[in-house]
Each structure stands twice: as structure tokens, then as C-alpha cells.
Amino acid sequence: MPRIVFMNDRLVPEDQARVSVFDHGLLYGDGVFEGLRSYQGHVFRLKAHLDRLWESARAICLEIPLSPEAIAQAVSDTLAANHLLDGYVRLVVTRGAGSLGLDPSRTKNPQVIVIADTISLYPSEYYEKGLRIVTAATQRTHSAALSPRIKSLNYLNNIMAKLEGLQAGCVEALMLNHKGEVAECTGDNIFLVRAGSLLTPPPDAGILEGITRHAVMELAHKAGIVVREATLVRHDLYTAEECFLTGTAAEVIPVVTIDGRTIGSGSPGPITTRLIKDFYALVRS
């Protein structure tokens, strides 16, 4: 059964969802996006995602042609049209079609695209037994070059690091910043547990401040777990008691091996397990 896609102002079958080959989103990665999850028909933290989309767009001087309310409705309509209660939504805004040059002022008609589908980022066994990850040689883009707070269509930096992970037999890879500090993984934020406290890199380490990351920090506070944003290096990960990743698609997933070093007991730890359970309860509440 063909999927239904929202394009600008209407729902269309996927084979009619077309973007110009001159669109600067295609030619230069000039645009922004968000990934969202729907649980039992309700989009998790939709407003937070839309706020971040608008912030990213403002940062690159891209005017989104629809209102937040209209896009929220488009998300709901796209999920309904595809008969999805539990699903993943990709919301994309491109710069629009223009000339074969970088000048964004020579573009027109920014494209608003909403895609809804099912997603299974990692096999279920990884959630039960944990991930193995490696550190990529590809560094996180320097924040002075491009702010990591902009969720842009240009993800080549992350893709190159992802390739390194896959070539090492891992489905995810850790990225360091230009100072050798822990930033994030290719698609997920990272947390570790030390002495019963939860630690995660701060925004100035070069991370995208994830919506799921923030939700997990809230859950930890409610559970009485101390949470700190702290500058981390690989030594901190190697010697951690527990480690896990967070992301819209990944949700909360344990990490048990980094660069061949076993983390903690080599199995998902009690705090990780508690937060996974609390997160699932939150998204289904």
C-alpha cells in the first residue's frame, strides 16, 4: 500500500511527492528537519520539536511558509492518512528551487514535507543486551563553523562517522569535538553513570540538545538521580559504571562496550534500566 506524504499544502501518494532537482535542499543540504515519534496516536513533545525547527530555520534565515499550527495539523493528518498510531515522522523544510549557485536569495518556494512511517532503528536484542560502539576519527563539526544546534539537512559529518562505525562492525559511533572531548554519537546523545550520578556532555561540547535527552534528564531528576552536564573524555566513558544513548528514533538504549572496553558489568545497569522503563511509561502516558 503506497504511503501518503504531505507536500506544502496537501496530502499526496508517495509517487507524487516530488521536489525540484534545483531545490537547494537537494543541491546543498540547505534546509532543516525534525524527527518525531508518535505513541498511541499522540506525537511526543510536538511543541518542543516545532520550537527547535523554527529556531533552526531562523538561524539560517529560512522562512517557513506555514504556521506552527498548520504544520502540527499536517503531522496529525499524515499519521492518520497512513493509519499510524505508533510511528516515526520526518518533517523537512527545504530552501526551495533556485539557481546552480549558493545564493539563497535566488531561491523560491520553500518546500514543507511531512513523511510518516514505522521505524526500528536497532534490533530489540540491543535494548536487552546493549550496544557496542567505537570512537570515530571523524570529528564533530566545530561549533564556530556551524552551530550544532541547527538541525540542518547536511548530515555528511555524521554519515562519515556512521560509516566508520559500520566498518568496525558497530551500528553506532562516538564523535569527539576538536578538543578531543566527548560530544555525541552520530544520531544520539550520550550519558554515563558514575558514583550513582548521571553525566552528559554540555551544549558547548558541540551537541544537538536532543528532545529525548531533555526528557530523560527530567525523569532522572524525578527519580532522585543527580544529573550534571560535564566535560567528558573517553577515559570517563571507559571507566563509567553504565552508559546509554538517547534519541527520538533510538529512544533510550544501553551501551555495554566502547572501543573494545567493557562498560561496568557488561550488561545494562540498574539506572539505565530504570530510565528505560520510566521513559516508556512517559511516552505512553
Retrieve residue 263's grid coordinates: 562498560
Q: Which residues carry out catalysis?
A: 151
Residue 102 DSSP code: S
What nine digits make up the cell of 113?
514535507
Whole-angstrom distance, CA of residue 242 vs CA of residue 227: 14
CA dihedral (273, 278, 281, 284) positive or negative:
negative
Residues 6+ apart with CB under 8 A from 233: 180, 181, 182
How many Å apart are CA 270 and CA 241, to the nearest integer? 10
Distance in angstroms (rounded) separating the CA atoms of residues 1 and 86: 17
Q: Name the grid cell of 7.
A: 507536500
Q: Are 113 and 71 in contact (CB under 8 A)?
A: no
